[in-house]
Amino acid sequence: MSDLTKELKEKLFLKRKNGLLTASEEEITKANDYCEGYKSFLNSAKTEREAVKTAVALAEKNGFTPFDRSKSYKSGDKIYFNNRGKTVAFAVIGEEPCESGINITAAHIDSPRLDLKPNPLYEEIELGLFKTHYYGGIKKYQWPTTPLSLHGVFALKDGSVIDVNIGEDENDPKFVVNDLLPHLASEQSKRTLAEGIKGEELNVLIGSRPFKDDEGSELVKLNILKILNEKYGITETDFLSAELEMVPAFKSCDIGFDRSMIGSYGQDDRVCAYPALTAIMNVKNPKKTALAILADKEEIGSCGNTGLESDFLAHIIGDLTKMQGGDTSVAIRNSACLSADVNAGLDPTFSDVHERKNASMLNYGVVVTKYTGARGKSGTSDASAEYVAKIRDLLDKNGIIWQTGELGKVDIGGGGTVAVYIANMGIDVVDLGVPVLSMHAPFETTAKFDVYMCYRAMYTFMQG
Ligand code: MN
Ligand code: MN
């Protein structure tokens, strides 16, 4: 190869390189240190409610206070909006009025899991079980024979709300969905993978000891209710107004001899929620108002009053803008957003579902996804070239290592994020997040370096 060829290639070709080869040792150490906090967050925030609690506690420590309509806030003030304990937004007021636009980052804090049905408890063959209804896109066969913990609330008629968290402490009991032994699974083995375990087979084993009596039926169920009544003061009817979620009971951990990766439940999308949260904590006196929103219900289509399809975000922008005597629609029109969500990392075992030139790879940095959707980009917000150019410039100028990604080959499948709902408001938005392996599985894998680059992108964007 002649020098000219080399020179031209260097100048003209798109360069893709592993971030761990281009970043400084110092930066890599920072990334590893940063992820220690991320791993703790994963363990204390396994559900949307727990994520909101953990985030609010951190925010209050950092001087954020709940938004109060009667107050007027000045540049640099830090406030938060808690929507029903399941979605939360944090804002740092900018020097410029909200009408000049707000820099928004949006991530989600719900993850695929097994919800309990409204009437979940039953006894069969002298074993106690819960009926579940899965939440979000899961491969059902992945959920049996893995230890589960129970999280959520009982809401009682007197207005009180009782928190439930069983299975996270080392000494806590855990729960499990059982599967058929291979010796007797010849019929089951003929099922397709999608039907390997069916929705109505995701029944959770929760007890086997009968209440001691010489006669009577459902004594195991009775004994379980007795335990729950003693612990929480509830009866079977109270399950009707509860939100109880079964999630994997294991903790986050390092993956690999080199400890370069993280394994955990719920990384989609806590792997972006934690960077958005820690970034807004560190934003100081931004030019434009900075807003980080951690939303519920993304995994089932962002619907409902805690999902981003609702007007919740528009109302927040309204609150902030009207407080300054401004016009909400002007503020919305001038705002910009990074929709912080994961992309599918290239897995050597399943690489044929990806088109390699446009697939994201572990350790190649934060991934910018111009569009998601399915088939002919159906149901996506396709970010404008102009907006992607702005984000490119911001990332490059600040030495943030990033890559581009598409969610798999064109005809293979597809997906979506909250970007489309934010775009529908009239806001410029692009997806930016972390590549994940085994997305939506009970145990997902990410690379530490990418998590840190995601943090740096969120921070740089909101600090302005
Ligand atoms: Mn997601
Ligand atoms: Mn997801």
Give average pLDDT by consecutive 10-residue segment, the chain, 464 residues: 93 95 97 98 98 98 97 96 98 98 98 98 98 98 98 98 96 98 97 96 98 92 98 97 98 98 98 98 98 98 96 97 97 98 97 95 97 89 96 98 94 90 96 98 98 98 96
Specify the CATH number of the domain 3-111+265-463. Answer: 3.40.630.10
pLDDT of residue 454: 98
pLDDT of residue 158: 97
C-beta atoms surrounding 264 within 10 Å:
24
pLDDT of residue 414: 87
Q: How far is the CA of 276 from the centre of ligand 1 (A)?
A: 14
Q: Give, in order, the Cα–Cα distances in Å from 209 to each of 55, 171, 229.
A: 39, 19, 16
pLDDT single digits (tens) 11-60 = 999 989 999 999 999 999 999 999 999 999 999 999 999 999 999 999 99
Q: How far is the CA of 320 from the centre of ligand 2 (A)?
A: 30
Provide the token pair at 91: 């804002």
3-class DSSP assignment, residue 137? coil
Phi and psi (nearest 5°) for 318?
Answer: -60, -45
Name the residue type at position 240. Answer: L
Whole-number CA gyration radius for the chain: 24
Domain locations in the chain as residue ranges: 3-111+265-463, 113-248
DSSP state of 301: T
Neighbours of ion ligand 1 (CB under 5 A): 268-269, 341
pLDDT of residue 1: 80
Q: How far is the CA of 107 from the centre of ligand 1 (A)?
A: 8
Specify the CATH number of the domain 113-248. Answer: 2.30.250.10
Predicted TM-score (pTM) of the model is 0.97
Name the residue type at position 218. Answer: E
Neighbours of ion ligand 2 (CB under 5 A): 268
Q: How far is the CA of 13 from the centre of ligand 1 (A)?
A: 32
Strands 402-404 and 261-264: unpaired
* Sheet bearing 253-255, strands edge to edge: 253-255, 261-264, 444-447
pLDDT of residue 413: 87
Residue linked to tokens 């695929």? 112
Of 323, 258, 249, the residue nearest 289 (C-alpha): 323
Provide the token pair at 385: 């070239």
Is residue 135 a contact partner of residue 224, using CB atoms and an 8 Å limit? no
pLDDT of residue 214: 84
pLDDT of residue 379: 86
